Structure 1
């Protein structure tokens, strides 16, 4: 009968919850088949089981590990039992007890000696030195002060009369070991004090963060060496459990457009022993923090909150573009156990993005505790402690077998049909030992699957402890999710994946994949509607999950079905495998297409048979709603079967990527006020020219008004109040030739110029901030530079070069004139550009019959439509242009013909591009 445990063939179980399994390794290929979810096993037969009770075998009096049944070699040693299991202590002989008592007596005398000299020294120091403010009131009695180290005060007591007895000289001479041990103890604590004293801390300027410092260590290798050397553990061995704790917080800003912020962040740590105060992670004016793709380290000293469970992190700056994108947060705990915590995020903290949240609570993804030394190399032998069920409800027990899959990039090993009696009794802990093999020494993820056996197929997995039996590395991965068997609930899945975190920032992200399949409606049914699907990519494959292809709405041509699963990142080149049960006609068509595909494969031809015309037309996959693209899978491929037992498999492969907006929806977007754009510009002290600033938007452009021509601390500001130009696309900076800066001219500078160091653009009414590339540039009288506006997850306009060639038919003038051209396209214009050198030192002479060219850089304006020419002159002139040709980077050229000559009165003309027939 289902659910009975009297006979379970092919399984190993024990009362103590121990299962020993050897995993088989295999290359991860594209021809995968269902592992534990074949259609024949879904509900057609119930499996009977035999429980084999195996006791624990003591290797010796100090060994708490069970027999590994030959899976571990004799050279391997298991140095320490897991913390959750009770150790057995052997009984020592009376001789050994006597020696121990002697050692303890010597330690007690050493402690008394240390306390005596310490209290004497502190008392004398107090009498000699004047009173100064300190952490304790001066009227406090000496006996109320605890000057001893916590380790000593916990194990030794003082005489009741609190009198300090100086040891006799004869006793000290007879017992040199006592003084030697006392000296060693003193040196140990002195070294600890010296290390703590020299901890790198930066005192902030504001009193809010008195215990906060910054560490400038962006080198990943340097941090990893620091962790391996055990520096943090050496420092914090001297820390009291109830005293201050040092936390190194590492913020990983994402490599996304406009992912950086100027705001300060705040963080709260939540642990098993309580919550910390809100701490501010401050910006640095000299070295900006939270820059795109950058790692920033902060050293926080605060009371310990115990083992971390989650953190609250965010900022208070509301406005589109004012937030940031955080990949992950890693916290190194400065305690003797050397724990490193991983908090994965990969989300926006921006009021104009996705859900508009500025603050998020991040649960701990995984915890890592490394060995005291990293000399041992992993052989892929792991011990897994599965914490089963929900402690609060008592739910989550299962009768399913468990299948484990280990991955290391392109290598996969598995251990299947695992069962233990503790899985059916929750809350409980099941211990499984598995050998993935040396090929998986660099384990990246572990997948846990259920096979749906018995009358309780579903399973709740709280968290998992992974212990490397070779390196003594310990990893704890938080899960707290259900594994559901054949559930129709959206997001339900029969597997969960554990990311393997080893203290470094290269752990695979845990993604929530959302996708769609475009199903073709055929007159002849080719397969049954219930199919199995798995995703695969460069980082392995996901588990298998069910999808229904049933045409519920009766569509006549095609329809879409959606799915959502959680899995470790598969990389970017993702594919979909669809396992289906064909009809008789579908099987015949499949085998025929398979033969053709096999011929193509032998010939090395890349053609895919059945592309877009067999069952599925195409697929779409997106990693997250915070991802600005999705993968389009338009290439379908038949996987030929080798024999009759093979599954019928259809593969879809990624052909292109499609951009998607991550901006908050209009329904959730708060109503905006009329923009009040403010530009702040930092210039150097030797600047004399006044910059002119033009904001260019989707609906037009406007020049901003300079608020004051006198720089204040090198800053000049501009303002523009209007909503007529639409969303800002770029900013154009030129020189205001009508006025100059209100500064004394620099006689050492041969030419007037201005050096712009930094530009900041923000909307004072709505809080929006526009990001720009590094804007450091030197401008002369005729210089023009355009900078693209960078909005969150929006690719900025690319920069291109344009070349203008002017053919002069006739020219008559007494003084050289200056010509300017503006190119206008479907995406805006370039602004007026001087036809010559930017500083204007050498005017361009347009002789009759000459041909002159100039090249300049501008942001792409798309297909060119119009050109505008403007001529500056102080005297009468005549200039007739026969032809103007504009060359673009894409190899196209555009020809323009001006109808009239240029004169002092006719000094500005606009011309449209000549039609193709005029060029023939």
Structure 2
């Protein structure tokens, strides 16, 4: 609109009043209707700001200043604002905040409706939350997701024939009951070459929720004479229903091949369905301690443990990013604990972590993970780059700290270095080094070595251990009889029977074993299959190892045979 330059008492203004856009057609008008809740003290006198996010960009932060109401954001009121911005495409989330100014700053936001006046599309955001420093979780900045759009995840496998690929654009339409369908979901790779022969390409598209899926239409945009052959699985779609559909296709999309059609309809009745974990959106707040040199530019990683599983290790934020952000995490709640590690890189590798807050934006549950200590090789009493924190929900600590006493009975000794990981209801311990024993010379023939690991979050009922060595030393081969693990909090001992070699030149040549618990409700029987070499898949191909492969699946209630 204008540029302003100030030097001393002199001000220069350069009016512009125009868009930086390729054409006027790129500029859209958005009507934003804000409904304030009808509860006591719901209105606010603070300044309110909003950011709209679409699949083609965002508006940047805008102040909601001009409403048809002279007094904005009053209790039970509806205020309408007009924003101009470049075409955002499908609006899927908004960020709303206020500056907490004036006497009555607290605000209860009911909902926000965004209408694209150019396309007449309506996007509804149900909020029903306080933006307040005094109420609820004391936040004045919130992110909300549209209720009518959901993410669809696709993987597309192209055939292996030399001319199977295509340079044409491909789109998918999801069809539900009563022929309710999404718009065209374009499978684009942001400038990269997709649909090459033998390739496996992944896409995320946002579309309307059609409910129960009935059919999927796959169509090539035939502006060229290119062809595409889709074999094996056409698409894996992760829906709110937490179901994956695998469609066998094995057909050409081409005018001069197969049946001459450039589209195919895939019926859910013909698809293989697989239940998968539902993704939950968490707002993550990382608080760094208020001590000297507390900040860091190192890489920070997080793993979350819940009753129903463990998340993948996630990079929290790269250098320079904000300390509040959103993450998609598998639905493993109720949460039990969190593991955080840093890699010690950067010019400021030390970090004083105060706490991390996970706010589930769908269930509104808040879990706190408090550490209040250094992650550092140079500062603090622990001198560690890794920590585990119990989840605190509604002022209740979900997991207690315990001491694990590990007893290892050796039949034939080893000079190698030994490590282990303990698994249980609440995840795993991470890697434990079996270093400081009650015996000076560890792992000798017919000897029992005892190791203590204090201040470890209890895993509850144990299910298995993984134990291995590095094959170092003159006498590396090791015959292990059993491992006992005692949990001080539970007052219970768990036995893991082995009776096998961990040696390159004995038995099956394996130096790593997984041992199921022999006396826990979480496992049945004793199984100690080796860790085997897997098949490696890449771009739809696989490489098969020559050795015989043995598979063992460990569940909470049983072990496969």
The two structures have a TM-score, normalised by structure 2, of: 0.32
Higher strand share: 2
Instruction: Select the structure with the greater relative contact order (CA < 8 A; seq sep ≥ 6).
Output: 1
